[in-house]
Amino acid sequence: MGERGLIIRDLPASERPRERLEQYGPESLSTAELLAIVLRVGARGESAVRLAERLLSEFRGLGGVARARVRQLASLPGIGLAKAAQVKASFELGKRLAASVDGPRPAVRGAADAAALVMEELRHREQECLAAVFLDTRNQVICTRVLMVGTLTGSPAHPREVFREALAQGCASLIICHNHPSGDPTPSKDDVALTARLVQAGELMGVPVLDHIVVGGGRYVSLREAGRI
């Protein structure tokens, strides 16, 4: 029988992340310890904490783990599909919590507000994605949606996909957003042309496009602020 992976309860009590979380709170744990709780079990004689450290090292930090696909995570010895799925599920829950709204819906007063709504969703994507922030008559957020996922070099977009969802949400206006996986949010000629098509379609549909925001590398550019709308 092969050597089993060490589980968290195999560690000395003072080194068990779950017990330390319970006693001192999650903020007292390192990133590797939090990730070890998600993994639960180590691999081939190494603890879950050590496996988490190896995972973070292989993907160059938490951001790299978040960007990696399930198959990429599973390819690391000791991870496998089950642990990879657990890790990806934990990131998705975090994103959904960040996007959830309790109480009054937030209002979008400018490009910075809209960018903040989509930044975490889009910044780690390896492909260009087109998203939209749908607003009511008071510019309060109805919801945000990723509408299309393209390739590393482009995101095919057609107004009908955008406004089909806009009509389904019953929004009064919307803000278009997309990411540049390169990390440079400078709008391209194609971005400007897409914006013009969507603005024109919005005028015809009676659902104005208020802005087009490009995010990349933790930054954003508003085409409205840049005078391109």
Give the CATH number for residue 165. 3.40.140.10
Residues 115 and 89 in one domain: no
Work out the average pLDDT over 70-78: 93
Domain that holds residue 17: 8-99
Asked if the model's pLDDT at residue 66 lies above 80, the reply is: yes
Whole-number Å distance between alpha carbons of 216 and 207: 27
Is the distance from CB of 174 to CB of 141 less than 8 angstroms?
Answer: no
Asked if residue 94 belongs to a domain, the reply is yes
Residues 46 and 123 in one domain: no
Asked if the model's pLDDT at residue 155 lies above 60, the reply is: no
Mean of all residue pLDDT scores within the chain: 85
Whole-number Å distance between alpha carbons of 217 and 174: 23
What percent of the residues of the chain are helix, what percent strand, and what percent coil, each to the nearest 5? Answer: 45, 20, 35
Distances (CA, A) of 98 to 39, 68, 119, 208, 209: 22, 20, 11, 27, 25
Residues 87 and 117 in one domain: no
Asked if the model's pLDDT at residue 38 lies above 80, the reply is: yes
Last residue of a domain, one of 49, 67, 99: 99
Residues 218 and 132 in one domain: yes
Give me the pLDDT at residue 132, please: 94
Is the distance from CB of 178 to CB of 151 less than 8 angstroms?
Answer: no
Asked if the model's pLDDT at residue 57 lies above 80, the reply is: yes
Residue 89 pLDDT level (bands cut at 50, 70, 90): very high
The count of structural domains within the chain is: 2
Structure tokens at 34: 């939090």
Asked if residue 202 belongs to a domain, the reply is yes
Give me the pLDDT at residue 24, please: 80
Asked if the model's pLDDT at residue 206 lies above 50, the reply is: yes
Asked if the model's pLDDT at residue 153 lies above 60, the reply is: no
Report H helices in the chain: 17-24, 31-39, 48-58, 62-67, 70-74, 80-99, 111-122, 159-169, 189-205
